[in-house]
A and B are shown apart, each in its own frame.
Chain A
Amino acid sequence: MTIVPAEKIYEGTRIPARCPTILDVDPAEHDLDDILTVNFGPNHPSTHGVLRLIVQLDGEHVAGIEAVIGYLHTGFEKTMEAKTYWKGITYPERIDYLSFQANELVFVLAIEKLLGLSTPEKATWMRMCLSELNRIHSHLVWLGTSALEMGAISMFWYAFRERDMVLDLFEMVTGVRMHTRYFQVGGLAEDIPEGFYAQAREFARHMPRAVNDYEGLLDRNKIWLERTKGIGLLSAADALALGQSGPMLRASGVDWDLRKAMPYLAYDEVDFDVPVYPNGDVYDRYKVHMDEMRASARIVGQCITRLEEMRGQPWIADDRKVVLPPREELHTSMESLIHHFKIVTEGYLVPEGQVYVAVESARGECGCYLVSDGGPKPWRVKFRAPSFAALQTLATCLRDTAVADLIAVAASLDPVMGDVDR
């Protein structure tokens, strides 16, 4: 982990309190009339999802802030304890509903680690390909909504135009546009359709040009620069103290990416850059997201090249105790029928043990802690949500800012409330 020094950023720490999401107003000051308490959310046009911010305003200046979360608590982790492993795969996708593929991947990887199951090469590369497409998808949603929050309304549609292309690819491969449940324990649910290669390659070629277009609209726009540069500062030390990862950390000048630091899948075999920017402001977070989309498009291109050489190879491990037998065998093979019945009803048994697996999702370190008691259902599942960590920095980033920056900064943290509340 190397830290790129910033040119101009605050000295010392700015974390406001032991509970880092609360920025308190001096009580004596609060008694004065000119502090106005305003409730942003849980239903407010600006928040991504149901985040509630209790803001103390001194004119247009944010004097105090308190984030209230939990409005989207769905109990995913608890529900998963009641589901067999192979039914549980649908749940992680809905936790971070924008970066669904990464969550699905981390859960599947955790189960595979407990089982000691290895996957075919084709599955590994396809997982990587879809994860990177998903990263682009998530960043596009981020870009569109954040720009919208700052009044650049058209960016929303431009970003969603490319997002639709990603969703078309997902639909072609998996039959579902979002929340695909395509990653199975042991590999993939189905073979890759033949049309995917050409369309994905075309997209990987198109995407960097689209990113150039976005930057053309925003990067040389004086208003955009004024609104983002030097706003929502977070130093490298504070980012680390607050448990940041992913784009948040890299925009604060810390070179840390799980894909490089602890390569999983086949990330050590592809060539890509990890963007790091030193200033820790909204602009640098924006730049990190933009560069990551370019890097992801590059990885997708490399994945397609490798996948094209693997046509006809198996896409899922040949372990009949865990992997569903091919459909056609059910009519001819008694063994296959029994395996199918056992997996669908009872589920497969996972050896006793506990494991933590982390992947780099679009928001940072997405981790899954899985405890098995040897049965067909997980004894405990816990997700390490990058959005939750990102939301912790809110009060730190928002010191000495205006109410308009509050929205820009909150958007730049890229919190997905499903991920925060789980």
Chain B
Amino acid sequence: MSAIFVASGANGEPWWIALIKALIVINLVLFGFAYLTLAERKVMGRMQVRYGPNRVGPFGLLQPIADLVKLIRKEAFAPASANDVLYIMGPFLAAFTAMTTFSVIPWGPGWEIGGYQVNGYVADLPIALILVFAVGSLGVYGFIIGGWASDSKFALLGSMRTCAQLVSYEVSLALSVLGVVIMAKSLSLVDIVGAQDADVWYVIPQIVGFVVFILAGTAETARAPFDLPEAEQELVAGYHTEYGGMRFGLYSMSEYINLITLSGLAVTLFLGGWHGPVVPGPVWFLIKLAAILFMFIWIRTTLPRLRYDQLMRFGWKVLLPVATVNAVVTALLVVAL
């Protein structure tokens, strides 16, 4: 906690502005989640020769609100044999960790408003990237606890799969960004964005890292074609089979927010962050974010699902070596030049 204040204070920003900004950003992320679900359904609908939601409000724009009201009003039942405390804690843990990570992603250059310094990020940590992965790993517990505490076979199988998948792919994910860290010589996301503005977008020298990052990220957020944890044709709904109402909503929310955060990371690490000509920084950030999210939705519509052993083989035998070689080669080149 103190690290956050020190970090923001060091940039001349009063602590209460950071607090207000955190509130705004967290609400924007939640808003983004709600409309990402709508956008996903719309885009998928168009790709699948249908319209997608268009009944609630103009162009279906109120659909996420209606979904939210529906989920909140539903009875929050729990299986009789569930472990109550853990059962309730699961979704909260998942949602909390998902929302935390977005705080370190920079989305603008910073402004001077009414004599006060306002930074284009909630927190700038010297170890921001490590924080992202650390908190992300904590989030896995939400899925495991939830699946295990429901005392259901489908949920247990689902959470076993989630556990194995997330742990395997986290390794490749972390290794894939190592090249970026070596090139920028910093773990702070703000510095990484700055380095890309001075140099080139890292997607060009780090194209291998970028591809590995997107693939491992897809698995990390359990999106198709790596959506095994909740492969509904096999495991009903995976680890959240026994969840209903807003508890399920929290799980769903954490998944989508993880996706947004991951896309934000991809933008920050590889696509130059908020930098871009003509329009202001946050707009560029949003444009790039939307492009990455659109790609994720596109992948989901097109590809069939992998099998569990194929997924594991791909993670350990393809992604991990590629990511490792990429990091080593980058390090060698940086030292040599």
Q: Which residues of A contact B (CB under 8 A)?
A: 36, 38, 44-46, 57, 60, 147-154, 156-158, 161, 217-218, 221, 223-224, 226-227, 402-407
Contact = CB atoms under 8 A, between A and B. Distances in A.
A402 B304 contact: no
Interface string B291-327: 0000000001111111111100000000000000000
A154 B301 CA distance: 6
Given A38-B154, A154-B48, A157-B50, A45 B305 contact: no
A415 to B, nearest CB: 15
B28 interface: no
A403 B153 contact: no
A217 B233 contact: no
A402 B233 contact: no
Interface in B223-265: 224-225, 227-228, 231-234, 236
Given A221-B304, A226-B306, A404 B47 contact: no
A223 B301 contact: no
Given A151-B227, A154-B47, A60 B309 contact: yes
B49 interface: yes
A403 B301 CA distance: 23
B233 A221 contact: no
8 tightest A-B contacts by CB? A151-B305, A157-B48, A152-B304, A46-B233, A149-B233, A404-B307, A150-B304, A151-B304
Given A157-B48, A407-B234, A221 B153 contact: no
What DSSP secondary structure best describes chain A's contact surface?
A: helix
A328 B44 CA distance: 53
13 contacts: A46-B233, A147-B304, A151-B227, A151-B233, A153-B44, A153-B300, A154-B44, A158-B48, A217-B302, A227-B304, A403-B157, A404-B307, A406-B234
B105 to A, nearest CB: 30
Given A45-B233, A223-B310, A227-B304, 18 more contacts: A38-B154, A60-B308, A150-B304, A151-B224, A151-B305, A153-B48, A154-B44, A156-B48, A157-B49, A158-B48, A158-B49, A223-B305, A226-B307, A226-B310, A402-B307, A404-B305, A404-B308, A407-B233
A405 B307 contact: yes
A407 B304 CA distance: 13
Contacts of A38: 153-154, 157
Interface of B: 44, 47-50, 153-154, 157, 224-225, 227-228, 231-234, 236, 300-310
A192 B212 CA distance: 59
Contacts of B48: 153-154, 156-158
Nearest to B224: A151
B299 to A, nearest CB: 11
B49 A402 contact: no
Contact of A151 (B231, B236, B309): B231
Nearest to A45: B232
Contact of B303 (A157, A221, A404): A221
Nearest to A38: B153
B151 to A, nearest CB: 13
A224 B304 contact: yes
A45 B236 contact: yes
B232 to A, nearest CB: 5
A198 B260 CA distance: 50
Contacts of A60: 308-309
B227 A154 contact: no
A402 to B, nearest CB: 6
A153 B301 contact: yes
Nearest to A225: B304
A101 B245 CA distance: 44
Contacts of B232: 45-46
Contacts of A57: 157
Nearest to B164: A60
A402 B307 CA distance: 8
Contacts of B47: 154
- Which residue, of B50, B302, B305, has the highest number of chain A Cβ atoms within 10 A? B305
- Which residue, of A158, A218, A223, A226, has the highest number of chain B Cβ atoms within 10 A? A223
A217 B310 CA distance: 20
A122 to B, nearest CB: 36
- Which residue, of A147, A224, A226, has the highest number of chain B Cβ atoms within 10 A? A226
Contacts of A218: 304
Contacts of A147: 304
Nearest to B228: A404
Contacts of B300: 153
A404 B304 contact: no
B307 A152 contact: no
B301 A151 contact: no
Contacts of A217: 302
Nearest to B307: A404
Contacts of B304: 147, 150-152, 218, 221, 223-224, 227
Nearest to A226: B310
Contacts of B154: 38
Nearest to A401: B307
- Which residue, of B47, B154, B306, has the highest number of chain A Cβ atoms within 10 A? B306
A223 B314 CA distance: 11
Nearest to B301: A154
B49 A227 contact: no
Nearest to A59: B160
A36 B153 contact: yes
Contacts of B44: 153-154
B161 to A, nearest CB: 8
A90 B304 CA distance: 38
Contacts of B157: 36, 38, 57, 403
A46 B47 CA distance: 23
A221 B301 CA distance: 13
A407 B157 CA distance: 15
Nearest to A410: B233
A38 B155 CA distance: 11
A158 B47 CA distance: 10
